[in-house]
Chain A
Amino acid sequence: MTTQAETRAPAGRERQAVRPGARRRRVARVLLYVAAVLLSLWVLVPLYLITVTAFTPRDHIFDFPKPVVPTHLSGETVDFFARSSGVISALGASVLVALITLAISTALGAPAGYALARYAFRGRAAYRLAILSTRAFPIVILAIPLAVTFLTWGIFDTLIGVALMHTALALPFTVLVTSSVFVSVPKELEEAAQTLGCTPFGAFARIVLPMALPGLAAAGIFTWELSWNEVFAATILTLDHPTLPALVVNTLQGASLPYRFAAAWFMLAPALVGIFLIRRYLLGLWSRVGH
């Protein structure tokens, strides 16, 4: 392939080729912008539509055809959803489960991430491979055997039970991402601090932690969202104390349309804020996980 192309582009014709090449590149550029706009609309339009629907009062939600530019806006439908039975407590459960998940997976995962980033130890490659390979398993489906175990442990239908399941889901991510965050903090700084009299822990707390904090926070927000969005395991592992997605999935069949639309918006909004907060870290978070 290469040799063919080489013979086809002799040096003498180069100048002639500049013009059409430049034009082609400009056309390609314009096409790329068109693609960017179309792909953005594909992502954004449904988000716009659900937001408009959720903020249309219930009397007008069944209007047809629907005005694309909303004529009636109010928080009435969202308010109705929030007052529906079980929603507030499910909302609280969701927030708490996500916070507990974040706490446990950081407590267990960040030290392992630090070890991966800073130490060469026997078994390091094997450990990394084990963590990576968990992605080849549909972890949420493990909620079924875990539910049976949790019944005997007495933590079925509890926040901690759901959080433990979500931690199993989040922990491999936490380990890999925190390791890439710690790798990005220069080791020399940490060593310099130790030479200047810091204990290993002191060097970590005073030098590494402050520098790693933004990356760790971004990873934390993503972990929180992982738990906030998880449906299947939360549905299997709860009964009377569901998280928000579990509550909505169980009541969906009989639910009114305004209830469904407001529910979707309630689940979306915090997650979108989270993605906004970590927008600078999106690629960094995944680059290490992807390889």
Chain B
Amino acid sequence: MSQAAAVPARRRGLGWAPYLLVLPSLVFLAVFFAVPMFQAFGLALQSPSGSGYSLDAMRQMVTDGAFARALSTTLLLMVVIVPVQFAVALGMAMVINARLKGATLWLYIFALPLGISELASGIVWFSIFTEQGWLNSMLQQLGITHQSIVFLDYQRPWLVLATIVVAEAWRATAIIMVILVSGLQGIPRDFMEAADVFGAGVWQRLRHVVLPLLKPSIRVALILRTILALQVFATVVALAGGTTTVLANEAYRWYYRLRDPRVAAAYASLVLLLSLVSTVVYLVTIRTNEERLG
């Protein structure tokens, strides 16, 4: 936004040039982003015969045995994962911002998971949590346990959910960390020094100086991360197999296995709606200072 003022009007003779440069991307996003979004709702509301509209697919989705579990698991994962990741990411960002020796090395290590896919991360944690896996192996080598614990036990869904939370926290914290670090670097050093001079401790500084100034970054990171949590898919497949399910898995199952694009689209619409609601909630509840003044 602030950048707009810095760009002077230039090349008056080529007034159409920017529109020409922007047009292809707009057309592409219209065809492959805006149109499919409406199609998702259209498909979900299509009657079985294909002509006219009906709530048939919606009804099929809601009355399906897996629906309640998929919805509650997705929401539960979102509610647990987002704060956990925020805490870890904030810790990482504070470490980076403290400019320790080897700052670029720490940043590189913390950012590594940016390049790791949901599926690969799910399998990595599967190799740790499986019955003959690394965690049981280490626990027994250290003499903490004597028998293998079944972490991925379908009879204990809480434990399976906890492993999914760990895997997601491992993989997707990096993106929040990077956004927070770039936000932190925008906070003038003087502010921190001032807080220091007035005797603010680490916690006070975080609470009264850093977090308020970081609000725009936090809001962006929260929105991004919540959207990602709502579409979690491969981590669940890799760790839980068929034992638990989330909304994206149900969309996949209805499309791929049951060959019913209408119900799959109903799930897609539900994910879209939940994303929109969560974004609006964040935009309303987390006001930046300028907005509050204006």
Q: Name A's B-contacting residues (CB within 8 A).
A: 1-2, 5-6, 8-9, 17, 28-29, 32-33, 35-36, 39-40, 42-44, 46-47, 49-50, 53, 62, 64-66, 68, 104, 107-109, 111-112, 114-121, 123-125, 127, 130-131, 134-142, 144-149, 164-165, 167-168, 171-172, 175, 183, 200, 225, 228-232, 235-236, 245, 248-249, 252-253, 257, 260-261, 263-264, 267-268, 271-272, 274-276, 279-280, 282-283, 286-287, 289-291
19 residue pairs bridging A and B, Cβ less than 8 Å apart: A39-B109, A46-B124, A47-B112, A49-B124, A53-B134, A64-B136, A65-B138, A68-B138, A119-B17, A120-B4, A120-B9, A136-B276, A172-B29, A231-B233, A232-B234, A248-B119, A260-B126, A283-B178, A286-B178
Residues 13-25 of chain B, each 1 if its beta carbon lies under 8 Å from chain A, else 0: 0110111011011
Query: What is the bound-complex CA distance between A62 and B29, given in angstroms?
Result: 48
B43 to chain A, nearest CB (A): 6
Residues of B within 8 A of A17 (CB): 199
A121-B18, A236-B256, A271-B117 known; A276+B108 contact, CB < 8 A: yes
Distance A5 CA – B125 CA, assembled complex (angstroms): 47
- Pick from A142, A228, A231, A271: contact of B40, CB below 8 A: A142
Expressed in whole angstroms, the Cα–Cα distance for A192 and B279 within the complex equals 45
Q: Mask for B22-62, Cβ within 8 A of A = 1, else 0?
A: 10111011001100110110110000000000000000000
B residues in contact with A260, CB < 8 Å = 123, 126-127, 238
Query: CB distance A112 to B127 under 8 Å?
Result: no
Contact A2 B198 (CB under 8 A): yes
B223 to chain A, nearest CB (A): 6
Asked if B21 and A114 make an inter-chain contact with CB atoms under 8 angstroms apart, the answer reads yes
> B208, A1: Cβ atoms under 8 Å?
yes
**Top-4 shortest CB links A-B:** A229-B117, A271-B115, A264-B123, A287-B182
A1, A136, A148, A291: the one within 8 Å of B223 (CB): A136
B21 touches A125 (CB 8 A): no
Indicate whether B213 reaches chain A with its CB closer than 8 angstroms.
no
The reply to whether B21 and A283 contact each other, CB–CB distance below 8 Å, is no
Asked if B285 is at the interface of the complex by the 8 Å CB criterion, the answer is no
CB neighbours of A253 from chain B (8 A)? 241-242
Interface residues of B (CB under 8 A from A): 1, 3-4, 7-11, 14-15, 17-19, 21-22, 24-26, 28-29, 32-33, 36-37, 39-40, 42-43, 88, 91-92, 94-95, 98, 100, 104, 106-120, 123-128, 130, 132, 134, 136-138, 140-141, 170, 175, 178-179, 181-183, 185, 197-200, 202, 208, 216-217, 220-221, 223-224, 227, 230-231, 233-234, 237-238, 241-242, 248, 251-252, 255-256, 261, 264-265, 267-268, 271-272, 275-276, 279
Cα(A275)–Cα(B112), bound, Å: 6
Contact B117 A230 (CB under 8 A): yes
* Among A6, A36, A112, A131: residue with most chain B CB under 10 A: A36
Question: B252 to chain A: closest CB distance in Å?
Answer: 6
Cα–Cα distance between A171 and B249 once the two chains are bound (Å): 25
| Minimal Cβ-Cβ distance residue in A for B17 | A119
A111: chain B residues at CB < 8 Å are 21-22, 24-25
> How distant is the Cα of A261 from the Cα of B130 in the complex, in angstroms?
12
Please indicate the chain A residues that have their CB under 8 angstroms from the CB of B123 in the complex: 50, 260-261, 263-264
Q: Which residues of B contact A275 (CB under 8 A)?
A: 108, 111-112, 114-115
- B25 adjacent to A175 (CB under 8 Å): yes
Known: A9-B197, A144-B251. 6 other contacts (CB 8 A): A35-B94, A116-B22, A144-B261, A144-B265, A229-B116, A283-B178
Tell me, in angstroms, the Cα distance from A290 to B28 when the chains sit together: 23
The answer on a CB contact under 8 Å between A283 and B181 is yes
Assess the A46–B125 pair: CB atoms within 8 A: yes
User: Measured between alpha carbons, how far is A125 from B185 in the docked complex, in Å?
Assistant: 25
Q: Specify the chain A residue showing the minimal Cβ separation from B43.
A: A145
Contact A137 B227, beta carbon cutoff 8 Å:
yes
